[in-house]
Amino acid sequence: MSEPSYRLPQQRRIVTALPGPVSLSLAGRRDAVVSAGVASSSPCYVVGADGGILVDADGNQLIDLGAGIAVTTVGASAPAVVAAVAQAAANFTHTCFMVSPYESYVRVCELLAAKTPGNFAKKSALFNS
């Protein structure tokens, strides 16, 4: 397996106080329209990411401490994932499987069943947030 290549250096780089002025402005806009029940652990607003590094609205490069939620194994904006998303989105961006089913949903469930340990029938339900 080859070493991944990244657009950004995989290191932290701080160029403003945290949060910076752009993130502070975004926080003010957020306070006006986003419910207080929606919490964020960081006050820095992300505009991009690569590998394990996030770039905030002020140009700071931060270590992605939330990557375990979705991208731990491949990093943010991994080329293979970006290509797969682009290919899927070229067909359609969303439809409700419970109304209009599609093959890729079934395929993902088949792959999960094949990868899950155990010698018994397995079924999955896929959700997002």
Cα–Cα distance for residue pair 46/54, rounded to 1 Å: 6
pLDDT at 68: 66
The fourth-level CATH superfamily of domain 1-76 is: Aspartate Aminotransferase, domain 1 (3.90.1150.10)
Cα–Cα distance for residue pair 8/55, rounded to 1 Å: 9
pLDDT tens, position by position, 69-123: 666 677 788 888 889 889 988 888 777 777 777 888 899 999 999 999 999 999 9
Does the model's pTM come out above 0.85? no
Domain ranges of the chain: 1-76
pLDDT tens, position by position, 37-53: 988 889 999 999 888 89
Tell me which residue has tokens 């947030």: 129
